[in-house]
Amino acid sequence: MIRLFTIGFLLLYSVLAHAQKAVATLDRSTVAVGEGVGFSISCENFQPLRLPSLPAISGLRISNSGSGRSFQLGGGQQISTLTYNFIITANKIGTYTIPGVSIQSNSGSFKTESLKLRVVAADSPDNKSQVSDYAFIRLIPSKNKAYVGEPIPIEIQLFLQNGRYNMPDLNAEGFNLTEYPEPRSSRAQKGNAIYEVRTFQTTATPVKAGNLKIGPVKMDVVLKIRQNQRRRSPFNDPFEGLLTRYQDFPVKIEAKAQNITVKPLPTEGQPDDFNGAVGQFSMTAKTSPLEVTVGDPVTINIELSGIGTIESLSLPQLKWPGFKSYEPSISSKKNDQLGLSGTKTFEQVIIPENETITEVPKIEVTYFDPKTESYKTVSQGPFTLKVKPSAKPNSIPSTFMAESNSSDLPEEKPQPSEILWIKYEEGTLSHANPFIIRPSFWLLQSIPLLFFIGALTWRRKKNAFANNPKLRRQLHVEQITSKILAKLLKLAEENKALEFYIELAAVLREHLGLKLEIPSEGITCDSIDEPLAKKNINPETRETLRRLFTSCDAASYAASQSTAELRKCLNDLEKVITDLK
């Protein structure tokens, strides 16, 4: 028993030790001068002996911002993560390398990978018309010089205090853009303001040479700005602020275009088999089987991996004498969201047509390396191949056929048949109806059709509901009203005036927002009196609305009222809801 316990403990310890690691991450890889970016070091399944420290880096100011611990269960294991957080503030433009940090623990030493931080110029004052105190956008290409076909990573950073946004609209004439993956979220401080940062990434691949522009980029944003209250309680009411109002302001923000100089691929030294691949790549290949018979297939697995236009990689057309080839099957794997690095695999089938073949020829792929500004070729092979001749069936000698037809052979007498045929009787099966003409058969066949029609009808209703925001809002308001009316009745019975008027104001705004097709936040009686008159709402209803809003505003100062008064307000509310419908 002790031995089994010891073995189990050692296995558990080995699993945990294998899972121990230290990971360093940056909230964003590109920041502006004066902005802070979050840097964290996560220690998984081990306890450091001391607080990790970062070396001093000229141009960067590093400060500690605390630590935190989290636990996670996954794969039958508990993962404990201790995270140390830092704030890095850039003082000048440049590209900085944050070196790996060594962390000592009782179980050994761990080191994080180094990271790159790019610092760009801060927003210029003449761009203030496009940058507000609540939201602004920044367009950051990773480089301003490239070759035709060389992918350029692009970052679009949205800084937003409070509000909603649509996807960015990037103008990129002369470039092919990839789709945006899910944006990364982080926080940043600019001056005294804290912003939520959404980082959108894409890849722009130039398709022509010249002085091109990437951008401008535009975004539609709806800002939620807090409105100042008209009155303030002289009694320091602790419930003041419960009715805080926010107003939506739709704005369009924009970041100016960036210049990109695109150079054409050099024609001098360009190989004849170059097919447009740009980047840095490597190749591995293997052939199997290495011993075959004429006509048997031989499979070549070719793997191209590296950084660049992975999707544009292709094999040259194989025109090898003595082989018959087929179209290869292709699969690709991306190592990052933008597809800037990855692997593309080709499975090529060839068939040798004669036994004189001794090898599979060399495979070559040419690409242009933008770093060295030259054409390069990766190759594999040739591969030794042994081809055996195919086995041919032996033909029957013609002399034997002549002898078998000779008249000298004695005639064979026909033998009497020894087969007795069985006579079948149909019996009761002869009187049974075929299954295909039975009603039960067609009833069973109709079940899948009825299920399909029902699913199609349900799907169409769901799509119609999803495409009808007014109907969705109406159902939402009806659900809220049924809940709040029951709650208001209970609050009136308990004579809880303050809570009663808070709920009353909420349901009034929802119904008025539905009727006038405006956001419910920030609705007051003064702001909707004229729109209600245009909707032909009678003056009596508008007067009742004014009285209810006045009671709600007065509740924060003197919320003491009788149950009878609260019930009267509830009756007025029900009448107003009926008139608005």
For the chain, the first-to-last Cα distance in angstroms comes to 77
Distance between CA atoms of residues 281 and 348, nearest Å:
19
Distance between CA atoms of residues 478 and 102, nearest Å:
60
CB 570 within 8 A of CB 492: yes
Rg from Cα positions in the chain? 39
Q: Residue with structure tokens 């996670």?
A: 72
Could you please report the per-residue DSSP string of 103-141? EEETTEEEEPPPEEEEEEPPPPGGGGGG--SSEEEEEEE
Greatest pairwise CA separation for the chain in angstroms: 137
In angstroms, the Cα distances linking 475 to 472, 480, 510 are 5, 9, 11
CB 369 within 8 A of CB 271: no
Domains and CATH numbers, the chain: 21-120 (2.60.40.10), 127-228+241-263 (2.60.40.10), 279-388 (2.60.40.740), 469-580 (1.20.120)
* 3-class secondary structure, 272: coil
- Long-range contacts of 558-565, Cβ-Cβ distance < 8 Å, separation of 24 or more: 559/497, 559/498, 559/501, 560/497, 561/495, 561/497, 562/495, 563/492, 563/493, 563/495
CB 110 within 8 A of CB 20: yes
What is the crossing angle of helices 439-466 and 469-493, to 10°?
A: 80
CB atoms < 10 A from the CB of 387, how many?
21
Tens of each residue's pLDDT in the chain, 581 residues: 565 555 554 545 444 445 788 899 988 888 888 888 889 999 988 889 888 888 888 889 888 888 888 887 766 677 888 899 998 888 888 889 999 888 988 888 888 988 988 888 876 544 444 446 788 899 999 899 999 999 999 999 999 888 889 999 999 999 999 889 899 888 887 777 888 999 999 999 999 999 999 989 999 998 888 775 444 545 455 555 555 577 888 889 999 999 999 999 998 888 888 888 899 999 999 999 999 999 899 999 999 999 988 877 888 877 888 888 888 899 988 888 888 889 999 998 999 989 889 999 999 899 999 999 999 999 998 999 999 998 655 444 444 444 445 455 555 555 555 666 665 566 565 566 676 777 887 888 888 889 899 998 988 888 877 777 777 777 888 888 888 888 888 887 877 777 888 887 888 888 777 777 777 776 776 677 777 777 777 788 778 877 777 777 777 665 556 777 778 888 888 887 887 77
Q: Which residues contact 432 (CB under 8 A, 6 or more apart)?
A: none
CA angle 118, 123, 128 (to 5 degrees): 160
Q: Residue 318 corresponds to which tokens in the numbers above?
A: 């194989």
In this prediction, residue 107 carries a pLDDT of 83
In this prediction, residue 438 carries a pLDDT of 77
Q: Are strands 329-334 and 291-293 parallel, antiparallel or unpaired?
A: unpaired
Helices (H), 353-496: 398-404, 439-466, 469-493
In this prediction, residue 398 carries a pLDDT of 47
Q: Residue with structure tokens 């208001």?
A: 488
Which of 94, 89, 91, 92 shows the shortest CA–CA distance to 65?
A: 89
Q: Residue with structure tokens 């909420």?
A: 506
